[in-house]
Amino acid sequence: MNGDPSSLDTDMTDTQSRMPPAPRLSDPSTPTKSSSHDIFFAAVETTRMPMIVTDPNQPDNPIVFCNNAFSRMTGYALDEIIGRNCRFLQGAETNCDAIDQVREAIKRREEVAVEVLNYRKNGSTFWNALFVSPVFGDDGKLLYFFGSQLDISRRKEAEDALHQAQKMEAVGKLTGGIAHDFNNLLQVVLGYVDMLEARIDDSDRASRRAIEAIGMAANRGATLTQQLLAFARKQELRDRLLNLNTLISDFATIIDRNLGDGITVRRRFQDELWNCRVDPVQAEMALLNILSNAKDAIDGKGEVVIETENVVSTTEQPLAEGVEPGEYVRVAVTDSGKGFDDNQINRVFDPFFSTKEVGKGTGLGLSMVYGFMRQTGGGVLAENVEGRGARVTMFFPRARGILEPAKVQASQTRGHGERILMVEDQEEIAQLGRAILEDLGYEVVHSPSASQAIDLLDTDSNFRLIFTDIVMPGGINGVELAKEVRRRFPAMPILLTTGYSDRALDAESQAFDLVRKPYRRAELAQRISTLLEGPNGVV
């Protein structure tokens, strides 16, 4: 608050016009601590609401009175406050529009209410809800300005967090829908790439190179859709109990290859690390995205440190935004670069935000990590480390139990005429699926909807396996079909597939095996072979 004029917006003027007239003083003497015997000043001194009085009749409209609450809020002593204009509380990030409103109100001798970012003596910021009112004498002369304040930092933080959550949810819905349709397109591309690759002679190098190029481009598209779904928190997670020390160690070869020879990787793992229930594929992808950002930050030369640690989040000191109190496993990646810029660090998890050159990044890597970690019930934090560089930390909720043994992969990958009922509503994907499965040696019967599949099973149940999409029109989805098949034919193997899964279906679909779109020919062959060989078709 100061005496310099500027502009005042219309909404504020309308509000002020409805305010009651400012009070008048019969005694215009300057308020002082010596007058604290007065019941009014005694109340002002004891209240928790910070209050000040300024004198516009002195040069620069200085503060002539403040109560103890104002001193506590700002961190300044009385002798550091009295005699100064209120602008000493302003700083680099103080919102100029709010200050302009106060200046204009003072110029017009009007009341004003604003929210302004102020600075304490120690340099920390706080949001101040400020109300300023002129005080006139009996003769109508302006005597003082009275200012009451309220620290509303927690409310502003809650509003910002809500705004961020709403923004992420809105973008998540959009990206989730795009990813679903894109996955179906990629399924057709990759499926026929695999079929062509099996038919091209090794001596036809030009054709083989073309097929490889198409496959690589489609794989990049598939990775992008996985990032979109993870960011949107619409990726169907297939989690299992595992130890992150083991996961990262088993992943070491891929990590080293992706970072390159110019980067030294140091691993600092805590012994007896707690177990977590995590989707290993998505956890590996999240770690690779963080490492990719670290690689770019140091231009492919330097040091990257991967750390694991058991940590505890409390109500008083949460590990990161949105991380509930409890036990977590911390996985941190620190690089030896320059760190995040001040204007970047608060945006690194925003979708499509990238510090890379045009064409060198989608801006979805860290937003995918954010979505995945929130979906797992944990959180993620980006920060600068003094003397080092940037650090991105993931917090995975601790899970209790015995680690599950690794599944033994089936050796058989081709069929011998077994009948498969394939349920798929999109014709181009159905044609592809039939072609792949028949090429693998299976007999395929196609149904375009779950309801028609149920009708078919009423008259013909001689199938060795049901292969069905999850998201389908007609009122019955793939999970409901699978449950009905399991009820009627408990021993029937069932394989679900989807490029997108609604959260309401996730828990129910956990009872069945699933292959994500876009799947490759070899992956589908292995999954079906495993199910046909498994006990009662259940893996």
Which residue segments constitute the domains of the chain, with CATH numbers given?
Answer: 10-151 (3.30.450.20), 239-406 (3.30.565.10), 419-537 (3.40.50.2300)
- DSSP character at residue 437: H
Q: Which two tokens stand for residue 440?
A: 């693998």
pLDDT tens by residue, 325-335: 999 999 999 99
* Residue 444, CA distances (Å) to 413, 439, 508, 520 in order: 16, 10, 26, 18
Residue 455 pLDDT class (50, 70, 90 cuts): very high
Query: Does position 536 have pLDDT exceeding 50, yes or no?
Result: no
Q: What does the pLDDT read at residue 404?
A: 54
Question: Rounded CA gap, 157 and 226, in Å?
Answer: 31
Q: Could you tell me which residues are beta bridge partners of residue 142?
A: 136
Residue 130: predicted pLDDT = 92
And the tokens for 195?
Answer: 């079929």
Distance CA 6, CA 71 (A): 28
User: How would you class 410 by CB atoms within 10 Å of its CB: exposed for 0-12, middle for 13-18, buried for 19 or more?
Assistant: middle
pLDDT on residue 221: 75
pLDDT: which is higher, 31 or 41:
41
Q: What is the pTM of this model?
A: 0.46
CA distance from start to end of the chain: 70
Distance CA 236, CA 179 (A): 13
Give the mean model confidence (pLDDT) for residues 464-485.
89
For range 42-66, the mean pLDDT:
87
The dihedral over CA atoms of 490, 495, 499, 504, expressed in degrees to the nearest 10, equals 20
What pLDDT sits at residue 158? 77
Diameter of the chain measured on Cα atoms: 105
pLDDT, one tens digit per residue, over 32-53 is 555 445 666 677 777 888 999 9
Q: Would you give the DSSP letter of residue 326?
A: E
Q: Is pLDDT larger for residue 410 or for residue 303?
A: 303
Beta-bridged to residue 498, according to DSSP, are 516
Q: Is the pLDDT of residue 345 over 80?
A: no
- Residues 32, 44: Cα–Cα separation, whole Å: 12
pLDDT-derived band at 172, boundaries 50, 70, 90: low
The sign of the torsion formed by the CA atoms of 447, 453, 458, 461 equals positive
Prior bond of 5 cis (ω within 30°): no
Q: How far apart are CA 527 and CA 214, in angstroms?
A: 24
CA–CA separation, 491 vs 465, rounded Å? Answer: 10
Contact 313, 372 (CB under 8 A): no
Q: What pLDDT sits at residue 465?
A: 95
pLDDT of residue 226: 65
Q: What is the DSSP letter of 38?
A: S
Beta strands in 299-440 (DSSP E): 302-313, 326-335, 379-384, 390-397, 419-423
- Residue 8 is predicted with a pLDDT of 32
**Strand ranges of the sheet holding 390-397, from the earlier edge strand across to the other edge:** 263-268, 302-313, 326-335, 390-397, 379-384
Determine the pLDDT at residue 498: 82
Q: Tell me the DSSP string of 219-270.
A: HHHHHHHHHHHHHTT-S----EEE-HHHHHHHTHHHHHHHH-TTEEEEEEPP
Whole-number average pLDDT of the chain: 80
DSSP 272: T
Going 186 to 192 to 196 to 198, the CA torsion angle's sign is positive
Q: Is the pLDDT of residue 350 over 90?
A: no
Cα separation, 317 vs 331, whole angstroms: 18
- Rounded Cα gap, residues 344 and 355, in angstroms: 8
Residue 380 β-bridge partners: 394
pLDDT at 352: 46
Mean pLDDT of the region 452-463: 92
Task: Over range 58-82, report the average pLDDT.
Answer: 91
